Amino acid sequence: MRVLLKKAINQTGIAMQRHQTIIQGIKWFVVAIYFLLLIIPALMHLPPKHSHIFNNIVLFAQFVFWGIWWPFVILSMLFIGRIWCGVFCPEGTLTEWTSKNFGRNKKIPRLLKWRGWPAIAFILTTLYGQLISVYDYAIPALLILGGSTAAAIVIGYLYGNGNRVWCRYLCPVNGVFNLLSRLSPFTFKTDQQKWSEFQEKEHSNPHCPPMINIRQLHGVSACHMCGRCAGYRNAVSLQTRSVNEEILVYGNEQQNIWQIRLLLFGMIGVAIGAFTWTVSPWFVYFKQYLAEWLVNHEIFWPLNATAPWWILTNYPANNDSFNLLDGFCVSFYILGSGILYGVWLTLIYKFLARLYHKPDFYLYFSQALIPLAAAGLFLGLNATSVKLLQYEGIVFWWLKDMRAIILGGASIWSLYLGYKILRKYNKYFYQMFLSFTLYTVSVIPVVGAWVLMFWIW
Ligand code: SF4
């Protein structure tokens, strides 16, 4: 049975390689749907009161983008790796196509290759999205998603020679997908021995759009799962693996500090801030306190001044406009949450690294939090789906239980990964006990934030 399954999975990879025309068709179909859902709602009026997902294209597009598309893209990373990037993503398709057909193939500047861009881009896009209410209105969605797509096309035009320079260095979610896909049970892998033993002459090398060294391929985090290299030199194949393998076995090879900053400050801290501010009583107290202070000092302009919709949410017809104080408080809350969580987790994991006299331990160990970060992102995005469906009168009686199972399961998974990594470094029971206790303490505020959001506030 196991052998049959292994063979079937391998054959799926080979089929992907052989049927690239079908994959191209899928890619362009997704591009067409993407543009339709992005552009048409932005040209229409705000939905009238009492409109529904199924009779208003604006609400329908909003539901598809934020209620289905994004939560399930996140989920797909965990189950099938970055197949979204390699087969479905419209930006990947467009940047690669532009580069291949019209590209100037300029030398990629060093600045573009800076490893911090995915982290910075994710944090800024998340904050900006909240300030202009990207989940609620079509024009901000066009600005953010369309702007990102336009940038992908421009980068493809300038650089790459048919490769995906945008995806590899600049895409705001590249870092997030890179981290999440480490938990995928499927991966393309290269068998080193078969590679060396292969004697025949290959007619052509496979084209790897994200520019990966296929010979060294043993994980899915950078691979877009496009399938073009499947079967190459009889050595590359689609395989299953343990969902912990990429972190436990290869995690200490990943020496990119920006990815860990993205994980701790962005995917955990900023995401908690971005998803909780609308329901947080702390946010309300903070804003009230500042408003009272301003009034007591007779400074009224931050309470009255608004800004264009592309700087701060501004839809008077919907009675939904941010003043400058709102904008400041949202930014402060989201970035403050990012800094608070990021610094808290970094300090503890750096302390553990010091304890073992291994500075790189921090980069390795932090990856144990990926399941918890994934659960947070999924549940946070899923809250939008639920909200939109609840407006339609749908009742989710099982919602709290499902959230508890996901959050509980992810917490146990993260604790397990942390335990397994600590076990590699600890010789003595007391060391293990102290380290694991500290790790557990570090996780409590992260889980606590989601408990507050979903069960208490
Ligand atoms: S290594 Fe490159 S060519 Fe092979 S599946 Fe991954 S992205 Fe595609």
**Within a domain: 151:** yes
CB of 228 closer than 6 angstroms to any ligand 1 atom: yes
Cα 160 to averaged position of ligand 1 atoms, centre (Å):
16
Is the CB of 268 within 6 Å of ligand 1?
no
Distance, CA 223 to ligand 1 centroid (Å)?
5
* 214 CB within 6 A, ligand 1: yes
The whole domain housing 23 covers 2-181
- Is the pLDDT confidence value at 53 over 70? yes
Range from 202-211, 345-354, 418-427 that averages highest in pLDDT: 345-354
269 and 376 share a domain? yes
Both 166 and 287 in one domain: the answer is no
426 CA to middle of ligand 1, Å? 37
- The CB density around residue 392, as the number of other CB atoms within 10 Å, is 11
Does one domain contain both 84 and 170? yes
For ligand 1, whether the C-beta of 225 sits within 6 Å is yes
% of the chain at pLDDT higher than 90 = 69
In degrees and rounded to multiples of 5, residue 360 shows phi and psi of: -75, -10
pLDDT, position 202 = 64
Which alpha helices (H) appear in 1-81, and where do they start and end?
A: 2-18, 20-43, 57-62, 70-80
Q: Which residues contact 101 (CB under 8 A, 6 or more apart)?
A: none
Query: Ligand 1: which atom is nearest the Cα of residue 207?
Result: 3
Residue 86, in any domain of the structure: yes
Asked if pLDDT for residue 60 goes beyond 70, the answer is yes
376 lines ligand 1 (CB under 6 A): no
If you measure from the C-alpha of residue 225 to the centroid of ligand 1, how many angstroms do you get, rounded to a whole number? 5
Q: Answer yes or no: do 10 and 123 share one domain.
A: yes
pLDDT of residue 118: 92
Nearest atom (ligand 1) to Cα of 226: 8
The verdict on the CB of residue 92 being under 6 Å from ligand 1 is: no
Regarding the beta carbon of 275 and ligand 1, being less than 6 Å apart is answered no
Cα 64–chain centre separation: 17
Domain-terminating residue out of 148, 181, 214? 181
Quick one: 258 and 161 in the same domain? no
CB distance 383 to 396 below 8 Å? no
One domain for residues 13 and 151:
yes
177 & 278 share domain: no
Cα separation of 121 and 85, whole Å? 17
Domain boundary among 181, 201, 217: 181
In a domain, 232, yes or no: no
Pairwise pLDDT comparison (395 vs 331), residue with the higher score: 331
Pick from 225, 232, 237, 246 the residue to mutate for probing ligand 1's pocket: most ligand atoms within 8 Å of its CB.
Answer: 225
> Domain boundary residue among 153, 181, 209?
181
In contact, 66 and 385? CB cutoff 8 Å: yes
How far is the C-alpha of 142 from the C-alpha of 6, rounded, in Å?
Answer: 43
pLDDT at 427 over 80: no
Looking from the CA of residue 232, the nearest atom of ligand 1 is: 4
Residue 231 in contact with ligand 1 by CB distance below 6 A:
no
The CB of 81 under 6 Å from ligand 1? The reply is no
User: What does the pLDDT read at residue 366?
Assistant: 95
pLDDT digits (tens, 9 = 90+) for 137-162: 999 999 999 999 999 999 999 998 88
Q: Are 176 and 258 part of one and the same domain?
A: no
Tell me the C-alpha distance between 457 and 275, whole Å. 12
Residue 196 lies inside a defined structural domain of this protein:
no
Q: Which residues pair with 360 in a beta bridge?
A: none
> Is 211's C-beta closer than 6 angstroms to any atom of ligand 1?
no
270-288 pLDDT, tens digit each:
999 999 999 999 999 999 9
pLDDT tens column, 210-268: 999 888 887 778 899 999 999 998 899 999 999 999 999 988 887 789 999 999 999 99
Lowest-confidence range among 112-121, 349-358, 443-452? 349-358
Quote the ligand 1 centre to 165 CA distance (angstroms). 14
Environment class of residue 298 by beta-carbon count within 10 Å: exposed (0-12), middle (13-18) or buried (19+)?
exposed
223 lines ligand 1 (CB under 6 A): yes
In a domain, residue 222? The reply is no
CA of 227 to the centre of ligand 1 (A): 6
Give the largest Cα separation in the chain, rounded.
82
For 65, other C-beta atoms within 10 Å of its C-beta total: 20
Domain membership of residue 238 (yes or no) is: no
Ligand 1 atom 8 nearest Cα: 226
Burial of 337 (0-12, 13-18, 19+ CB in 10 A): buried
Output the residue whose Cα is nearest ligand 1's atom 3. Answer: 208
Is the model's pLDDT at 191 over the cut of 70?
A: yes
pLDDT of residue 199: 78
Q: Same domain, yes or no, for 258 and 177? A: no
Q: Same domain for 157 and 282?
A: no
Q: Rounded CA gap, 86 and 30, in Å?
A: 12
Which protein residue's CA is at the shortest distance from atom 4 of ligand 1?
229
Q: Is the pLDDT of residue 33 over 90?
A: yes
Ligand 1 proximity of 227 Cβ (cutoff 6 Å): yes
Q: Does a structural domain hold residue 319?
A: yes
Domains identified in the chain, total number: 2
Ligand 1 close to Cβ of residue 13 (< 6 A): no
> Is residue 389 assigned to a domain?
yes
